[in-house]
Amino acid sequence: MTMIANKLQQVQARIVTACTAAGRDPASVRLLAVSKTFPAEALREAHAAGQRAFGENYVQEGLAKIEMLADLRGDIEWHCIGPLQSNKTRPVAEQFDWVHSIDRLKIAERLNEQRPAGLAPLQVCLQVNVDGGANKSGVAAEEALGLARAVAKLPRLRLRGLMAIPEPAEGFEAQRELFLRAAAVYEQIRADGIALDVLSLGMSADLEAAVAAGSTMVRIGTAIFGGRG
């Protein structure tokens, strides 16, 4: 077994343990392998070990890997998870399967206009700022419902859920408390009649707290691929 395959197995075991502790079905939590800064061959190794969904933070780097792994295109789901600027929406709309980081309507409208008609709708999540930090990406929690209503009407997008990246917190309970803020916004939008099914919360250091708060997708990089140089 390769090192990456072994690490993937360890992360899956953590997800199972976290779900068991939270009284949840392990199948209700998807693993998104965050592959930014790692070479295409590392992704190929992870794919050989059974991983199918990969998250890239930087558009150009992600596009390069999509091209290098073109032979696996039908068997890989590409997620754009980093902040997205207006001038980068076209290649993302054309090449990626998911976008996690929509925080304003302008970006969603551009992705909708630029998504090729021959492709399935782009799967999208709204990024919510649950800390209230002025310098962080994400729509404010109190503005998320309005944005969700507008994005849900765009025909070439399919609004799937929310994503949040809270500030690092010390300890399980502090981490869980931040994630529960995102979960509350998620439930508010669902109560409005918008059929969300993805709550993208948790990374290598805090996936257990995220699962306890209801995360359905954890974004794991370091624990799979190792530390970044």
Q: What is the DSSP string of 159-186?
A: EEEEE--PPP-SSHHHHHHHHHHHHHHH
At CB < 8 A and 24+ separation, what contacts does 164-168 make?
164/127, 164/128, 164/129, 164/130, 164/138, 164/200, 164/201, 165/127, 165/136, 165/137, 165/138, 165/203, 166/130, 166/131, 167/131, 167/133, 168/205, 168/206
> 227 falls in which pLDDT band (50, 70, 90)?
confident
- Among 64, 72, 1, 73, smallest CA distance to 37 is for 64
Q: What is the pTM of this model?
A: 0.96
At how many degrees (to 10) do helices 105-114 and 144-151 cross? 20
Cα–Cα dist 72/50, whole Å? 12
The pLDDT value recorded for residue 193 is: 98
The pLDDT value recorded for residue 229 is: 47
Structural element, H or E, at residue 17:
helix 3-22
What are the sequence ranges of the domains in the chain? 3-225
What is the percent of the chain where pLDDT is above 90?
A: 94
CATH 3.20.20.10 fits 3-225, yes or no: yes
> 135 falls in which pLDDT band (50, 70, 90)?
low
Cα–Cα dist 173/47, whole Å? 34
At how many degrees (to 10) do helices 40-48 and 3-22 cross? 60
